[in-house]
Structure 1
Amino acid sequence: MQVWIEYDSKRRQLNVTLHPIRVPKPKVPLLSLQKDLSPFLLEYMYVGFSSSTGTLTASHDILGWTFKMNGTAPVIDLSRLPKVPRFNQPWIQSPKGVLTISLTVSGVILLIVLSPGLWLFLKRKKLLEVLEDWEVQFGPHRFSFKDLHTATKGFKDTEILGKGGFGKVYKGTLPVSNVEIAVKMVSHDSRQGMREFIAEIAIGQLRHPNLVRLQGYCRHKGELYLVYDCMPKGNLDKFLYHQPMMSLEWSQRFKIIKDVASGLCYLHQQWVQVIIHRDIKPANILLDANMKTKLGDFGLAKLCDHGIDPQTSHVAGTLGYISPVKNRKKASTSSDVFSLGVVMLEIACGRKPILPRASQSEMVLTDWVLECWENGDIMQVLDDNIGQEYVEEQAELVLKLGLLCSHPVAAIRPNMFSVVKFLDSVAQLPDNLLNIVQAREVYPGLEISGETADSPESSSIAPLTFTESFVSHGR
């Protein structure tokens, strides 16, 4: 069979046409809908396919497809299509045809060839690996253990890229395709390890230029593996503290901050659900070969619907990056904003959030930066390795915005859409920002807008406005 999915952006018309593969395309579509799709089309989008079978196991095979922006997709050469996969089971009748699909979005056409066979595996279950419910719902590409074993040279210690709270990460190169990957071996000896594994797979469907892409997963003899795009430059923590000969310039640091903020804004406000990362820190900020920044490690992440109070059942994260929570049992998107604020200060200052052996005034990074600001010299906290080649306005913006984001009062922190606007110089920080940062609670007359906005449009103004002055109480 052949299916065309076409969208005309001028007419705002969506048509779906279905016909046998050897029959010309009908003039009348099977389904038709007049709908403006522009609100649903983002700057970065992916075309993909999904299928479901209900209570029975089945196989759906895409034999070919084409895609075209602003035009008609090329017709598929049927003679070059691969054969429909078969399992050599005599009780299964061979399929008599294939299915072709074509998709058009604002002048986009996609042509696909599928096998319509419903493969019923009532016998010989050894041909299939048992799929659990979560794999049916979320399952991306499933790698074979043999390929991962070959790619990582048998999971040798020499191939280890790093170690996390739930396992080791190995670098590797897939056989045949020669694609570089990173394989995370998740500890399976605890329920927490399995929860992290499933969370990463569920959120791994996200596609954004500043989020690490999950390629797939593997389960083998109780072991759990996650396969990601390789990030050859490693994590930000290594650049800040473990590579003194490769210090980051200010332009690189500022771009890293903007990239992380963009990725976090997508998680909080631009995806179909709200995602709380819950572990924003330099070790989870990765750099590719071109020093492009991507946020990774979603093992602690939580999802909820927009418009619902996104509070998790308990606090998670890393000491120094966890926001103050009175009852210590809840975390929300503002908790991620707090962590980002600490990371912003850490990138600019080149030091850890907490230094136990430092003096009382310098022990806590946020307190030290605020004290220097109060003394009229906030720029003295900048990392010496930055050198003199930096933009003073950008550095000052990062330090002050970092203090605002890491404010102990969640209601005073801006949302991520506002943070991105500040970093892009589209919005300006309030003139009385020092008073705002010094506040220990939300006072009567303090109007906060945008913090709980459901959409970016409602956050187009600066998030904080003070209508009365008050005495500084410190942090």
Structure 2
Amino acid sequence: MALKIFFCALILKLASSASDQFTYNGFKGVNLSLDGLAGITSDGLLRLTNYTMHGMGHAFYSVPLRFKRSQVDNVASFSTTFVFVISPEHPMLGSAGFTFVLSPSKDLTHSLSNYFLGLVNMTNNGNASNHILAVEFDTWYSPEAKDINSNHVGIDINSYISNQSAPAGFTSDDNGKFESLILLSGEPMQAWIEYDGINMQLNVTIAPLWTPKPKVPLLSSTINLSNIILDHMYVGFTAAEGTSYSYHYILGWSFKMDVRAPELNLSSLPPLPKTSTSFEKNQKILSLWLPLVLSVLGLIIAAGATTVLVVRKKKFSELHDDWELEFESNRFHYEQLYKATRGFKDEYLLGVGGFGKVYRGVLPASKMEVAVKRVSHESKQGLREFVAEIVSLGKLRHRNLVQLLGYCRRKGELLLVYEYMPNGSLDGFLFSNGEKLLDWSMRYQIIKGVASGLQYLHEGWDTVVIHRDIKASNVLLDSDMNGRLGDFGLARLYDHGAAPQTTNVIGTLGFLAPELARVCKVTTSSDVFAFGAFLLEVVCGRRAIEPNKQEMEQVLVDWVFVNWKMGTIYETKDLLLGEDYVLEELDLVLKLGLLCSHPLPSARPSMRQVTQTLNGDSPLPPLTELNSCIISPVSVLIGK
């Protein structure tokens, strides 16, 4: 019996030792735990995502590893290296990104996509009970995540918000200079992540494939992981998609406890699949033309003028289809917009949002100032209807709407041209920490203006226009500080009296009406819900969702709702207002915001009623129905 127990213990010890390390030069036949979009290709690539937008994928080593020898021990040293490739749908537009993660569970299906990176969700973000350590490779700029840019590496602890981050790149061992890397270039790169359990030092390093590991890490952070890492943890990867998609591939991966992970055999890694992304098409064109150019080098002087014309034509190329002839008068030439923005230089960048980048420009001929938004279209299907709606929206005329002047279409992207608003967006004033002051009279005037513009969209035009993304960042301020509702990239048009059609639920968390989770049909009432959250943004001077606050204060609508129930609603006002406000107007806007954000669509007022109330033409409807709510207005949607 004693001998039997000895051999059983020996087998368990050997099994445990074997599971402390692994090396995969490709993933053919490898038993990983996969879910979501993750899968292993026939060539042996670990593919974390595919062409599905707003999706996510997870891939974990199938058994947990032991990171502590006992409950009182510090976390043991560990090291991993892997080769990755991010291949985007469009070379100028990222998606979300991927992470290397240590997690107590390999089931992260409750997490969210987009900037949540498949790590956490709205309710558990930042919770110490998550016990998650991740290194993110992020290709999307998200203000909610406090990202530094759209091309960075970060260290995340229990949250999608990085404790430390840096632009992607490496320090050359040859000259000591920092070399930038574009994560979504479609080129393979190698990453090294190492934790020294004795000195509690976490280092993250990246470099192009075949480049030896740089001596200077990209990120180096002293972190005591004892309260974060449990005795046993799963190791693996998460990835997420946003409004466009990227393929996230892992070509090879090794991991080892206590010492440095084994080197990968780079020559044995599986090849990347042939894809039809714009980036790879450009690579193919270059590979075909470069030998030809070299072969006719002797004729290049004679052909110089022709070459310039060809390059110029390609540089300013556009897509034209026959059905666009009826919209020709609403179309801008790409060359116009390129020159207006000086080639879309960063110094002309006005802002970055979830659906594209916006640049300031001056049209060469008219000298008119414009704002140019570059967005990727989600699919070829419905493009004609989308352009038709954009052109229709250009016919809107109201003093509180930003004028949509026209569009331009290129391969993989649309460019929308708007009036330029010199004072920027309203959120730049509300959330500037006092650097830009906005007194109560100006806020109230902006609120009334936006309400008037939204009423016009719902009732005052030939068709019903549902905006779908009402928030402070989409309210722009003209030279006279008048509020103008802008960004109609998500808007939908319906005939008066027609039933709205089912659509994808897209927009911004904190502004999405709870019924959208059930019926997926946007209505004027769902716009009213978002307008209610917008009113509270303006009065309270804080964003609709703030994950870093205490749980009961994270969702703005919920927080104001709770304070109203307790009789302390005035305590939610923006402290920067001081005592310079009209109490009756403040009271009106706070309560109107709650009424508009009522969980029941039938209890919300129309925008006509809202405008009349704000102008003093009708009294505020009673809040008796809101008082009977058992749940707070937003919790229905986000599952709190």
TM-score class, shorter-chain normalisation, is 0.5 to 0.7
Q: Report the alpha carbon displacement of residue 298 of structure 1 after superposing the two structures with TM.
A: 1.2
Query: Which residue of structure 2 aligns with residue 11 of structure 1?
Result: none
Letter in 2 for 1:201: V
Corresponding residue to 2:455 among 258, 265, 278? 265
Give the superposition deviation at 1:282.
1.4
Say whether residues 1:321 and 2:511 are aligned partners. yes
C-alpha distance in structure 1 between counterparts of 2:428 and 2:466, whole Å: 25
Alignment of 1:442-461 (within 5 A): none
1:144 maps to a residue whose letter is H
Task: Assess, with a 3 A threshold, how the Cα gap between structure 1 residues 252 and 323 changes in structure 2: closer, same or farther.
Answer: same
* Structure 2 Cα separation of the partners of residues 313 and 236 of structure 1: 28
Q: Where do 5+ consecutive residues of structure 1 fail to align?
A: 1-128, 441-471
Residue number in structure 2 paired with 1:178? 367
Distance 2:476 2:382 in 1: 22
Tell me: CA distance 1:420–1:138, structure 2 relative to 1, closer, same or farther (3 Å). Answer: farther
Q: What's the secondary structure of 1:331's corresponding residue?
A: coil
> SS in structure 1 opposite 2:552?
coil
Residue 439 of structure 1: aligned partner: 628
Residue pairs, 1:12-31, within 5 angstroms: none
Per-residue deviation, 1:315 = 2.1
Give a deviation string over 1:190-249, Cα, whole Å, max 9, x none: 449957655433312211111111222223566532211111111112111136311211
Q: How far does residue 367 in structure 1 lie from its aligned partner after superposition?
A: 2.2
State the shift of 1:140 in Å: 4.2
**1:14 paired residue number:** none
Query: Which protein has the larger Cα radius of gyration, Structure 1 or Structure 2?
Result: 2
Give the 3 Å change call, closer, same or farther, for CA 414–147 of structure 1 in structure 2: same
| 1:311-362 CA-partner distances (Å, limit 9, x unpaired) | 4433221111000015152221100000000010111001122222322332
The reply to whether residue 158 of structure 1 matches residue 347 of structure 2 is yes
Q: In structure 2, give the amino acid aligned to 1:172.
A: G
Match of 1:255?
Answer: 445
Q: Equivalents in 2 of 1:363, 1:165: separation in Å?
A: 21
Q: 2:575 aligns with which of 378, 384, 395?
A: 384
Provide the aligned length of Structure 1 versus Structure 2.
Answer: 315
**Which residue number in structure 1 is paired with residue 495 of structure 2?**
305
Q: Deviations over 1:261-301 (max 9, x none)?
A: 11110111111111111111112111112211111111111
Q: Secondary structure at the match of 2:553?
A: coil
Aligned letter for 2:574? D
Per the alignment, in what secondary structure is the counterpart of residue 551 of structure 2?
coil
Separation (CA, whole Å) in 2 of partners of 1:286 and 1:422: 23
Deviation for aligned residue 1:304:
1.0
Listed as ranges, the matches of 1:48-447 within 5 Å are 132=321, 135-188=324-377, 190-191=379-380, 199-220=389-410, 223-242=413-432, 244-325=434-515, 327-430=518-621, 432-433=622-623, 435-440=624-629
TM-score (norm 1): 0.62
Q: 1:131 deviation in Å? A: 5.0
Shift of 1:395: 0.6
In 2, Cα distance between the equivalents of 1:346 and 1:261? 14
| AA partner of residue 616 (structure 2) | S
Look up the SS of the partner of 2:435 in the other structure.
Answer: helix
Task: Give the match's secondary structure for 1:231.
Answer: coil
* Separation (CA, whole Å) in 2 of partners of 1:382 and 1:193: 44
Q: Alpha carbons of 1:204 and 1:367: their partners in 2 closer, same or farther (altered >3 Å)?
A: same
- Looking at structure 1, the residues matched to 382 and 353 of structure 2 have their Cα atoms a distance apart, in angstroms, of 11
Change (3 A) 1:222 1:378: closer
The answer on whether the counterparts of 1:439 and 1:474 sit within 8 Å (CA) in structure 2 is: no
Aligned residue type for 2:376: S
Secondary structure of the structure 1 residue equivalent to 2:481:
coil
Change (3 A) 1:278 1:414: same
Q: Which 5+ residue runs of structure 2 have no aligned equivalent?
A: 1-317, 634-640
SS class of match (1:206):
coil
Letter in 1 for 2:573: L
How far apart are the structure 1 equivalents of 2:460 and 2:322? 27
Which stretch shifts more, 277-286 or 239-248? 239-248
- For 1:222 and 1:309, how far apart are their aligned partners in 2? 31
CA distance in 2, matches of 1:317, 1:396: 28
Give me the whole-angstrom Cα distance separating, in 2, the residues matched to 1:138 and 1:408.
Answer: 40
Identity %: 51
SS in 2 for 1:372: helix
Displacement of 1:138: 4.5
Please, what is the CA RMSD of the aligned residues? 2.5
Q: Which moved more, 1:354-363 or 1:261-270?
A: 354-363
State the secondary structure of the residue aligned to 1:218. Answer: strand
Deviations 1:94-148 (A, max 9, x none): xxxxxxxxxxxxxxxxxxxxxxxxxxxxxxxxxxx98536534445432222222
Contact 2:330-2:391 within 8 A present in 1 as well: no
The equivalent of 2:294 in structure 1 is: none
The answer as to whether partners of 1:166 and 1:193 remain within 8 angstroms in 2 is no
Verify the 8 A CA contact 2:376 2:412 in the aligned structure 1. no
CA distance in 1, matches of 2:600, 2:422: 38
Distance 1:366 1:221 in 2: 41
TM score, norm. by length of structure 2: 0.46
